[in-house]
Structure 1
């Protein structure tokens, strides 16, 4: 089946992938929900390992346990509100109660990222921690959540790409044209590539000793990758006119301040003296 992607376009329906990962009585656990859960568990495990294995960590194990709860609330609230504000404000202004229906889908990466950053800053301010160093650690583990989330998007048949004449295209709708599997591109780049890059920088260089440097590299790199990946992705239906008028997708516009912030963080971290390990 995997080789079919490289030989001729594949109909997404023929893959027979159910969006339901597990059913227990009336309860259905969807792959997208499972991706969130697995991403959070991985982040806790990886951060705990990073704290134990490296000297002068920015937080204790107790801080980590508490911070994971704060970050979870931040990603859910931020992701949902970001989608409402950036991608579909008219629908939710007409019926604000729809905002609470998380099970109907609709999450924004940029909103989720802002939510997590705000949660980290608030927690660090409350407990007297260096927020920039905590963000550096968080930046190393975030790509795993992105990898799992994009794979879940593909399983759900969401976020189809633009039409392509390449043999690796996916036919998402019966009778439709082959389209780029943009979520798989994102899983490989925003997810796997950034996970390997950030992990290598943390474990094999002294980048972690310059507060804000790893966070800046992640923010800027994600912004650049997403800016490029959006060229393969079809705009959200309700924002097609917006993309045509402005020349960029909403996701691309939101990446421009990310790139600028990443460059600023890198510049700021390079000007400051490195910590002594």
Structure 2
């Protein structure tokens, strides 16, 4: 049975101040990463680093997520519009963040931080990897609450009769209707034809919950260098590649090849390759031993 999406994206409204659920999801993701990271630091999983050093790592990583995510979105998904209007990159309130751009931003931050602390970059990456999925999961929930990045229509497929009707994805005149009128049409069954995959929730489950459980379990004891990072890259690349089959491609890009290849799949393929390579490389790599505080 389809569900009508009618969630207010604004969590708190105090006069001109409006706090969106998407922003709160980001905060929850960072809070979860901070909590888990401090536990791992105190368990000695990053020898020679104290709470202050970890705080610096988290700060620079957060900058990498935000700056890299925004710049990556512009370069990967909206470069044509950026050339027409360069100030577009600063209009973050209009939406547009890229995981792959955020990942590159975090990598830059980690490389810089690791060199300052004289640590092997992959020791830091292996430490950080289990902290990331919670943020991915909360972020995708934020996408769902905001009614954005929806999936493909389910009507006429194996999933017929299932899905979510996203008001922002509806054609006119439905897209302009108020919530009460839209509810009336939905209850009559007229809008069932516009039900879509809640791909945001699929990603929240796979990239968030499943990856979090697997990586925390896998890293519960010391693993060879490259192993945890490799598993992260492999899992994310595979999960993102698969979900793209039921996710609506970005309107400004569409499909890039063969009538089904999306930008998300193109960007995720190198992660799958890197993940396999790093896991193979970990077989002969040293294992960093913890130094509990």
Bigger proportion of residues as helix: 1
Deviates more, 1:46-55 or 1:212-221: 46-55
> Are residue 171 (structure 1) and residue 161 (structure 2) matched?
no
- Aligned-residue offset at 1:273: 3.0
CA contact (8 A) 2:154 2:195 kept: yes
Please identify runs of 4+ aligned residues in structure 1 that moved more than 6 A. none
Q: Which secondary structure state, in structure 2, belongs to the residue aligned with residue 238 of structure 1?
A: coil
1:225 aligns with: 239
In the aligned structure 1, how far is the partner of 2:200 from the partner of 2:41? 32
Report the CA distance shift for 1:67/1:244 in structure 2 as closer, same or farther (over 3 A): same
- Provide, for residues 58-95 of structure 1, a one-character-per-residue CA deviation record: whole Å limited to 9, x for no partner: 63211111111101110011000110010010111110
In the aligned structure 2, how far is the partner of 1:59 from the partner of 1:254? 33
Report the CA distance shift for 1:55/1:77 in structure 2 as closer, same or farther (over 3 A): closer
Q: Matched residue pairs, number? A: 263
Specify which of 5, 10, 20 is matched with residue 12 of structure 1: 5
- Aligned-residue offset at 1:53: 2.5
> Are residue 201 (structure 1) and residue 218 (structure 2) matched?
yes
TM-score (norm 2): 0.85
Specify which of 147, 151, 156 is matched with residue 161 of structure 1: 151
- Aligned-residue offset at 1:168: 2.8
Unaligned 5+ segments in structure 2 are 175-190
2:35 aligns with: 45
CA contact (8 A) 1:19 1:31 kept: yes
In the aligned structure 1, how far is the partner of 2:251 from the partner of 2:48? 43
Deviates more, 1:54-63 or 1:155-164: 54-63
TM-score (norm 1): 0.90
| Correspondence list, 1:122-201, <5 A | 122-165=112-155, 166=159, 167-172=161-166, 173=170, 174=174, 175=191, 177-201=194-218
In the aligned structure 2, how far is the partner of 1:55 from the partner of 1:247? 42
- What is the aligned-residue RMSD (CA, Å)? 1.6
In our comparison, the structure showing a higher alpha carbon Rg is: 2
In the aligned structure 2, how far is the partner of 1:96 from the partner of 1:200? 44
